[in-house]
């Protein structure tokens, strides 16, 4: 599919985009479709992201078929329930658990899911450099996709919990799991309650950044 550039519909400068792109779960508009042209355009932008050796081994599957979404959502829900059951109560706030549960309960209704994968499988004895380059060759593109969508007023949630059921999801959508590794699933929707989001809360800079000598 070829895509035509489209301007972002509302003003959000680059710093605003980078600091106000949260994981959207409760505010996903489940009643409004997301156009394929818009998704294709934002994916086209995402393909400019850095990646190891510029091999572009990433692959993206857009899922907007209700039955396929329902199948994925069933696996997602099972994996998410298992994850939450295994997570100590002190590890996540009640609010965070509520958000994760809400997304798992509504994933089948999210207008579009983008399943990202990468060609190849990491060998069991993969070096740290291989591991980092492998998954790191997909995440910048996913973040670009999320930012491009956000710049057009949409919301996203980047998730990995379904990977506990990677094989089942691969079989459902025809991914050759022996030669392609799934990396993440991004829920995509327009947002309810406008397009405004507060800056995402983060630790103070000085708690995580040191200069010249590692201190943290």
In this chain, which of 160, 164, 172, 177 binds ligand FMN, going by CB under 6 A? 160
**Binding window for ligand FMN (CB under 6 A); candidates: 3-11, 62-70, 118-126, 154-162:** 154-162
- Report, in Å, the least distance between residue 108 CB and ligand FMN: 15
Structure tokens at 100: 């994760």
Q: Is 164 in the site for ligand FMN (CB under 6 A)?
A: no
Given a contact cutoff of 8 angstroms between Cβ atoms, the answer to whether 145 and 46 are in contact is yes
Residue-level length of the chain: 216
CA dihedral 116, 136, 96, 66 (to 10 degrees): 0
Give, to the nearest 10 degrees, the angle between helix 128-136 and helix 139-150: 20
Tracing tokens 């980092």 back to the chain, one arrives at 132
Structure tokens at 153: 């007023």
CA–CA distance, 111 with 123 (Å, rounded to integer): 35
Q: Is 158 in the site for ligand FMN (CB under 6 A)?
A: yes
Q: Is 93 in the site for ligand FMN (CB under 6 A)?
A: no
Cβ closer to ligand FMN: 40 or 74? 74
Smallest CA-to-CA distance from 188 within 140, 147, 149 is with 149
Q: Is 23 in the site for ligand FMN (CB under 6 A)?
A: yes
In this chain, which of 159, 181, 182, 191 binds ligand FMN, going by CB under 6 A? 159
Q: Is 22 in the site for ligand FMN (CB under 6 A)?
A: yes
In this chain, which of 42, 43, 100, 145 binds ligand FMN, going by CB under 6 A? 100
- The strand pairing partners of 58, in sequence order, are 118
**Binding window for ligand FMN (CB under 6 A); candidates: 12-20, 65-73, 114-122, 153-161:** 153-161
Residues forming contacts to ligand FMN in the complex (CB under 6 A) are: 22-23, 100, 103, 157-161, 200
């Amino acid at each position: 599919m070829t895509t035509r550039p489209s301007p972002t519909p509302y003003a959000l400068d680059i710093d605003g985009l980078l600091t106000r792109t949260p994981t959207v779960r409760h505010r996903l508009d489940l009643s409004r479709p997301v156009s394929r042209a818009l998704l294709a355009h934002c994916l086209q932008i995402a393909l400019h992201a850095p990646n190891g050796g510029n091999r572009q081994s990433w692959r993206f599957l857009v899922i907007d078929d209700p039955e396929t979404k329902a199948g994925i959502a069933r696996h997602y829900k099972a994996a998410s329930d298992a994850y939450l059951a295994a997570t100590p109560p002190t590890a996540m706030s009640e609010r965070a658990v509520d958000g994760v549960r809400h997304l798992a309960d509504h994933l089948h209704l999210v207008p579009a899911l983008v399943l990202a994968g990468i060609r190849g499988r990491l060998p069991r004895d993969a070096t740290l450099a291989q591991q980092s380059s492998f998954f790191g060759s997909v995440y910048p593109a996913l973040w670009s996709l999320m930012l491009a969508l956000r710049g057009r007023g949409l919301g996203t949630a980047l998730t990995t919990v379904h990977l506990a059921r990677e094989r089942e999801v691969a079989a459902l959508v025809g991914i050759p799991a022996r030669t392609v590794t799934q990396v993440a699933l991004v829920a995509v929707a327009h947002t309810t309650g406008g397009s405004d989001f507060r800056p995402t809360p983060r630790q103070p800079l000085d708690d995580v950044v040191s200069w010249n000598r590692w201190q943290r």
